[in-house]
Chain A
Amino acid sequence: MEEEDYSSDMDDEILSSMWPENLGKESDKQFNIDKPAADQDMLDEVSIAEEPSIVDFKRLMELTNFSEKGSSQLSYLVKQWEHKQANAFRLLNEQIDILNKQKQEAQLKELEILEEHMFEADNFVGDKRPISILQDDYAFGDATPIFNKDISICKNKWQIDVEHDSIEYWKERAKKMEKLLDESLQRENKLQEKLQENLRVLAKETSPVEELSQILRRADNFLHFILQNAPVVIGHQDKELRYRFIYNHFPSLQEEDIIGRTDVEIFTGAGVKESQDFKAEVLQRGLPAKREITFETELFGTKTFLIYVEPVFSKTGETIGVNYMGMDITEQVAKREKLAKLREEIAVRNAMETELNKTIHITEQTMRAKQMLATMSHEIRSPLTGVLGMAEMLAHTELNEEQQQLLGVMISSGDLVLQLINDILDLSKVESGAMTLEATNFRPREVVRHVLQTAAASLQKELTLEGLVTEEVPSEVIGDVLRIRQILTNLISNAIKFTHEGKVGITLRVTSQPSFAENQKDRKDCGDLSKYSKTDTNTQQNDTSLSQNGGLGGDRSSNDVSCVIDSKQCRDTQNRMAESETRPLSSIDGDEYLDIDSDDEEKIVWLHCDVYDSGIGIPEKALPALFKKYMQVSTDHARKYGGTGLGLAICKQLVELMGGRLTVTSKEHCGSTFSFVVPCKVPKKRTCDEMDNDLLYDMPLSECEARSDSTAEDDKRAYFQFKPRTLGSLFSSGDAAPRSKVLSAGKIDSNHTTKMNGIHTGYMFPTGESTPSSNQNLSLNHDVDKQHSELGSDYLTGIENVNKAVNDCPSNDDYQHLQITHSPMTTEKDTTMRHSQESQDLKLSYLAHENQGKMQKTNQKPPENISDARQMQSRPKILLVEDDQVIVMVTQSMMKRLGHSPDVVSNGAEAVQAVKTNNYDLVLMDVCMPVMDGLEATRLIRKCELSGNWDASEVARACKADCLMSIHMNGQTSPFPRKRVPIIAMTANALAEGIDECYANGMDSFIAKPVTLQKLKETLCQYIPG
C-alpha cells in the first residue's frame, strides 16, 4: 500500500477522532462527533456483535482499491497521515536548524578566537609571513559545530599560569584550546547520535497501515453500533447484481446463500423481480435512485422496503456495481395507507355532507316553496271567496244590464281563479306528500251519476252524457270518494271541453289486478290502502255534501236526466237500452249480491274506469306530455279552450297516489279515452238499516217503494244517460220564450216512471231560466231581456258555481247560501226571489211531502234572516271558544279594540251549549281544546242547526253516531232549523291539511294563530257586515 511509503513520527493523541478532521470546513462536516479525551474510546463499552455482516473480504479489498469511492476514502486517510508526517518533519527540521545555527555560532566564535590569535601573532611577528601553528586545529574546528553556550562557559575559565606572551604561554594556550575543541566535538557527536536515535524510534513507533486499520476498525465499530438494531439492509452488488457484501441485522439466510447470488436467485415472490430490475436500471443509468417496493416472499412474508440504490464507479468511471440500502417501512406504509384511506374517507364524507346539506337545503327550500304556495293559495282563496261572495250579493242588487254583464264576467273570472287555486293547492299537496287519502264508504254508481249530473248541469253543448256501471262493480267500496269524484269530474269536463258533438261517457267496471300492481302486490295493497286514513265521519261529510248538492242545486240539471238501473248484464251501448228497460223492476232480488259482499274479509277490487268522448282527439306526438303540468296539446288549443293544463296532471297524481294508473288512448278527430284503474276495498256486507239510511240520502226524494227496490238494484248494472235538452217555459216564472224544445226521456218505460220521477225530480229542479245556457256560468247567460224574477235562480246558479269551485269544502254550500240570504236586500228583490222559489216549489208539489223540512227552511227563512241581519248590524254577538287563557286575553283585548265584547267559553262542549242558548253572529273556535275540540263542536253545532234539535240527548247521540246526514234527514221531524252561524277556526296549524280539516268539519274560515288585530279585523269584517 501506498501509505506504507510514508514513515514518520506520529502521535496518537492527534487522532482524537476516528473520522478525518480535514474533510471540509466546520460547517459542512458530514460527521459530527464528540471529541473524546485521549485514549478514551467511546465505543469501549459497547459490545458489538459482528456476525450479521457477511463480507467477501477479498472483494472488499478489491473494491477499496478499484472503486472510486474506496480510493477516495483511502486517499483521505493518506492525506491526513501525510499531513501529520509533514508536521513531524517540520518539527525535526526546525530542531536541525537550531543545531546548525548553534554550530555556525560556534564556528564563528572559533574564528574570532583564531583571528584574535592571529592578530596577536601579527603583532608579535610583524608583517612577515604569519605562520599558523594551529592551522590544522582550526581546520578541524570548522567541521565541528559547537554550541555557543558551552563555549561561553569555557571562555571565562581560561586561566593560564604561565607568563604572558611567552612561547610557553602560547603553547599552553593552544593546548587548552585544543582540549576545548575536543570536548565540543564530543558533545556535538553526542547530540547527533541522539538525533539519529530519535529519528529511528519515531519511525519504528507507528506504521501507517496500523494507523489506517485502526481508523477503519473504528469506523466499522461505529457503523455496527449504529446499525446493530436498525431495520436496514446494506449491500453491494456487482455488475451482474450478485451480492458481494450484505449487512442484514435480521439475516434469514446463510452467507453462502447470498454472496455471489442475485436477488432473483435468492428468493422468489412479488417484488423480487421489480427490485432486481430497479437495480439494473440504476446500474444502467448510473444515477442513484430511491424506490418503494413491496415484497411478498415466502422468506419474510409481505414487507415493504424503501430501497436506495446507487451506482459504484471504477476509477475509470465505469459502473462496476451498485450499493444498495433497504429499509423496512412496512408499518409506516400500512399507517400511511391507513391514513390516506382515512383522509380519503373524510374527504368523501365531507363531500357527502356538503352534498347532503345542499340536498337538505334544496329540499327545505322546495318544501318551503311548496308550503308557501299552499299557504299563499289559501291566503288568496279566503279573500277571493269574500270577493266572490260580495259579487254574488252585488248581483242581486239593482243593477243595469251593463253592470250585470260586467259583474257576470267578474264572477266567472273569480270562479276561474278559484278553480285554478284549488288545482294548484291539490297539486302541491300531492307533490309535497301532504295529500292524504281518506277511506270512506261510497257507492260507485252514485258517484258516476253525480259526476254526470253535475257535468250535465253545466253543459253548454248538445252532447249526450252517458254512464255505465257494470253489474259486478260492488254496490259499495272503500276509497277516497272526493278524490275519485275529482278525477272523474276533471276528466269529464276535459272531455266535454274538447268535444263539440256526439257523446261523452263514463264506463266503470271491475278488472283483474293490473300487471303493474302484480309484482308489488303485497306492498302496493298495503301501502296504498294504508294511505287512507279511516275516518268514518268523513264518509258522512261527503255524503252530506253530495246530498246537499243534490238538494240545493235542484236547478242544476237543465238536461234531462234519465237513470236506468237494470239487472241484466248488458254492454254499455245505448242501443240496447230498450231491451234492458223492458225487464220489470220487480224481478230484481236482493240475493243477487256479489260474492264479494257476502265475504267477511275486506277484498280489493280494481275498478277500471273509462272516460270517453267523441271529441277532437289528441295527436300522437302530444300524448307523452299530456299529463305534465301546465301542458296543453298546443298553444292554439290553450287559446281556444282555455284552462290551466293542471287538470290532467292532478288526475294522474291522484290516481297514482291511490295506487292506480291513468292512461289515455286517442285518435285525432275521433275522440279520446282516458282510463284509470284504482284499487278499492270492498267493505263487509252492511246491515239493512244502514242501507236504508244511506239510500235516504242517496235518493232523498224518491218514493218509499222505489227506495226498497233500489236496495236490491243497487248492486246491479247501472246506466245513466243525460240527453241534451232545454227546459221549457213550463217552470219558468218569467216569460222567457221557449227557444228549444224539451227532449225529455221519451224512451223511458212507464214502469219506471215513479222511480224516474224520484231521481228525475231530485235533479230537475226547474229554474227561472229559459235558455239552455242560462244554467251555465252566470257570466254567459245574462240575456239582455232577463227579468228581475230570474234573479232568484241566478243567485242559485251563481252559488252553485262557487260550490263547484270549492266542492272540496262541502260546508261552503250552506255557508254561501246562508250568507247571501242573510244579506240585506231590497224588499222587492227579496219578494221576487221568494216568489220564484215558491212558485217552483208549488209546481213541484208532489215533492212537497218529501221535502217538507227543506221547503220550510227555504220558505220561512228569508224574513227571519232579514231581521237577523239587522240585529247583527246593531250589535253583533260573538262567541270566543278558547281554552288558553293567554290567547283568550289577547283576543278579547283585540275584540275590544274592534268594538266587540265576545262571550268566552273554554271548550267545545261549552261552546255547543252557548250556541244552543244564544244566537251568535259569529263563533271564533279554537281547534285544539280539552273535553271537546273545535272540530267536533263545530260538527255538532252544524248538525243541530240543521235539525233544529238542540236536545242534549240528541247531541249526545249524534256525538256517537257522528252522522250529520242522519240528522239532516231527521230534520223533517224537527221544529225549525236554525240559521247557520259562521264558525271561524283559530288554528296554529295553518297548513293546507289543517285548514281543510276545518272546512271539512263545517267551519267557514280560519284565523291562523297567533291572532293579530289585522287578521281579526279582516275576518270580522267579512262575517259581520257593517
Chain B
Amino acid sequence: MLNFAMDVLRLQQQHSQLTYSLFNEGFLDEQFTQLQQLQDESNPDFVSEVVALFFDDSDRLLENLGKALEKEPIDYKKLDAHVHQFKGSSSSVGAHRVKNACIAFRAYCDENDRAGCIQCLQHMKHEYYLVKSKLQELFHLEEEILSAGGTLPLIE
C-alpha cells in the first residue's frame, strides 16, 4: 500500500515537472491552462479530447502543407490559408511554439519565399512533433496517475 502511494507520488512529481518544463520551455502557454480549467467532472477528458482533435487536424494540415509546397507554382495564398488555420488551432490549444512557427511561416508566405517556407515547414513539423510527443507523454502520465488511484493536480 505504501509502495502504491509512493508510486503515485512519484508519478505526480513527474507530471508536475513535465508540466512545468512544458510551460517553462514555451511549448505551451496559458491557453493550455484555459483548456485545463475547462476540464471538470462533467467533461473529464476534455483536454485530451481537444488535443487529440488538434493532432488529427494538424496531421492533416501538415500533409496539406507539404503537398502545397510541392506543387509548382506554389499557391501562396492557399498555403497561407492553411498556415493561418494551423495557427488558429495551435493557438487555441496553447501550442505556443507551433503557433510561433506559424507566424514565421506566414511571413515567408507573404514574401513568396519558397525556401523559407520549406524551412519553416520543417521547423513547424519539428515543433509540432515535439509538442505532440510531450503532450502524449503528459496524458500517458495522467492516465497512469489516475489508474494508480491518484488525482491530478488542480488547475487554478
A and B found bound together: yes
B38 contacts A1010, C-beta separation under 8 Å = no
- A164-196 contact mask (Cβ, 8 Å, vs B): 1 or 0: 000000000000000000000000000000000
Q: Which of A884, A889, A894 contacts B49 (CB 8 A)?
A: A889
A889-B49, A889-B53 known; A1013 vs B89 contact (CB < 8 Å): no
B53 contacts A885, C-beta separation under 8 Å = yes
A884 contacts B88, C-beta separation under 8 Å = yes
Q: Which A residues are CB-close (under 8 A) to B144?
A: none
Q: Which of A886, A894, A926, A1009 contacts B53 (CB 8 A)?
A: A886
A885-B57, A889-B50, A893-B46 known; A1013 vs B37 contact (CB < 8 Å): yes
B92 contacts A1011, C-beta separation under 8 Å = yes
Total residue contacts A-B, CB cutoff 8 A = 62
Q: Which B residues are CB-close (under 8 A) to A884?
A: 57, 85, 88-89, 92
Shortest CB-to-CB span from A489 to chain B, Å, is 34
**Interface size class for chain B?**
20 to 34
Q: Is A928 an interface residue (CB 8 A)?
A: yes
Q: Which of B38, B53, B88 contacts A988 (CB 8 A)?
A: B88
Q: Which A residues are CB-close (under 8 A) to B34?
A: 890, 894, 1010, 1012-1013
Q: Is B120 an interface residue (CB 8 A)?
A: no
Q: Which B residues are CB-close (under 8 A) to A988?
A: 84, 87-88, 91
Q: Which of B35, B49, B57, B88 contacts A1009 (CB 8 A)?
A: B88
A897 vs B36: C-alpha distance when bound (angstroms): 13
A890 contacts B85, C-beta separation under 8 Å = no
Name the prevailing secondary structure of the B interface residues.
helix
A1012 vs B53: C-alpha distance when bound (angstroms): 18
Q: Is B43 an interface residue (CB 8 A)?
A: yes
Q: Is B81 an interface residue (CB 8 A)?
A: yes
Q: Which B residues are CB-close (under 8 A) to A890?
A: 34-35, 38, 50, 92-93
A993 vs B18: C-alpha distance when bound (angstroms): 39
Closest residue of A by beta carbon distance from B58: A886
B43 contacts A886, C-beta separation under 8 Å = no
Q: Is A887 an interface residue (CB 8 A)?
A: yes
Q: Which B residues are CB-close (under 8 A) to A894?
A: 34, 38
Q: Which B residues are CB-close (under 8 A) to A1010?
A: 31, 34, 88, 91-92, 94
A928 vs B88: C-alpha distance when bound (angstroms): 10
- B89-107 contact mask (Cβ, 8 Å, vs A): 1 or 0: 1011110000000000000
Number of interface residues of A (CB under 8 A): 19
Shortest CB-to-CB span from B58 to chain A, Å, is 9
Q: Which A residues are CB-close (under 8 A) to B43?
A: 893, 896
Q: Is B54 an interface residue (CB 8 A)?
A: yes
- Contacting residues of chain B (45-79) with chain A, CB-CB under 8 angstroms: 46, 49-50, 53-54, 57
Closest residue of B by beta carbon distance from A893: B38
A736 vs B119: C-alpha distance when bound (angstroms): 74
Shortest CB-to-CB span from B36 to chain A, Å, is 11
A886-B54, A886-B57, A1010-B94 known; A928 vs B38 contact (CB < 8 Å): no
- A646-680 contact mask (Cβ, 8 Å, vs B): 1 or 0: 00000000000000000000000000000000000
A272 vs B92: C-alpha distance when bound (angstroms): 81
B92 contacts A886, C-beta separation under 8 Å = yes
Closest residue of B by beta carbon distance from A1013: B34
Shortest CB-to-CB span from B44 to chain A, Å, is 12
Closest residue of A by beta carbon distance from B89: A886
Shortest CB-to-CB span from B113 to chain A, Å, is 18
A19 vs B24: C-alpha distance when bound (angstroms): 77
A928 contacts B92, C-beta separation under 8 Å = no
A1009 vs B88: C-alpha distance when bound (angstroms): 7
Shortest CB-to-CB span from B96 to chain A, Å, is 10
- B16-46 contact mask (Cβ, 8 Å, vs A): 1 or 0: 0000000000000011001101100001001
- Contacting residues of chain A (880-939) with chain B, CB-CB under 8 angstroms: 883-887, 889-890, 893-894, 896-897, 926, 928
Closest residue of B by beta carbon distance from A930: B81
Pick 30 A–B contacts, CB within 8 A, sort by A.
A883-B85, A884-B57, A884-B85, A884-B89, A884-B92, A885-B53, A886-B50, A886-B57, A887-B88, A889-B50, A890-B34, A890-B92, A890-B93, A893-B43, A894-B38, A896-B43, A926-B88, A928-B81, A928-B84, A928-B85, A988-B87, A988-B88, A1009-B88, A1009-B92, A1010-B31, A1010-B92, A1010-B94, A1012-B30, A1012-B34, A1013-B38
For the A-B complex with A893-B46, A988-B88, A1010-B91 known, give 9 more contacts whose Cβ atoms are closer than 8 Å. A886-B92, A887-B92, A889-B49, A890-B50, A890-B92, A893-B43, A893-B50, A897-B38, A1010-B92
CB-CB nearest 7 A-B residue pairs: A886-B89, A1010-B91, A893-B38, A887-B92, A1010-B31, A886-B54, A1010-B92
B binding-site residues for A, Cβ under 8 Å:
30-31, 34-35, 37-38, 43, 46, 49-50, 53-54, 57, 81, 84-85, 87-89, 91-94
